A and B are shown apart, each in its own frame.
Chain A
Amino acid sequence: MSNHENTPLSSAHHEEEDTPAVSSPKAGFLPIETNWFDRLFISVVIWVALSLLWFRFMEPIGLSIWISNAIALALAVLIISKG
Chain B
Amino acid sequence: MQSNRLGWILLAPTLVILFFFGVLPFIYVVYVSFHQWNPFAADPTMIFNGADNFRKIVFDTEFLNSVGVTVLFVLFAVISELVVGYILAQAFMKEFPGKAIFRTIHTLPLIMAPIIVGSVWKLMMTPSIGIIPHYLNEWFGITVNIGMSPVAAFTTIIVMDIWHWTPLVTLTLIAALVSLPPDPFKQAQIDGANKRQIFFHITVPMIAPAVVATVFIRLMDALRTVDEVWMLTGGGPGSATRFVGVHIFKEVFPKTNYGYGSTISVIVLYLTIVACWLLYVTMLAPRNKKE
Contacts and interface: CB of A to CB of B under 8 A. Distances in A.
A25 B54 CA distance: 34
Contact of B287 (A31, A51, A59): A31
Q: By DSSP majority rule, is chain A's interface helix, strand, loop, or mixed?
A: helix
A28 B277 CA distance: 19
Interface string A50-61: 011101100100
A70 interface: no
B59 interface: yes
Q: By DSSP majority rule, is chain B's interface helix, strand, loop, or mixed?
A: helix
B286 A56 contact: no
Given A15-B3, A56-B58, A32 B274 contact: no
Contact of A55 (B54, B273, B288): B54
B182 to A, nearest CB: 25
A33 B54 contact: no
B54 A27 contact: no
Contacts of A32: 281, 285-288
Interface residues of A, number: 19
Contacts of A30: 288
A74 to B, nearest CB: 20
Given A27-B290, A45-B277, A33 B51 contact: no
Interface of B: 3-4, 51, 54-55, 57-59, 267, 270, 273-274, 277, 281, 285-290
Q: Which 9 pairs from chain A and chain B are nearest by CB? A: A56-B58, A32-B285, A33-B286, A55-B58, A27-B288, A55-B55, A52-B58, A48-B270, A33-B288
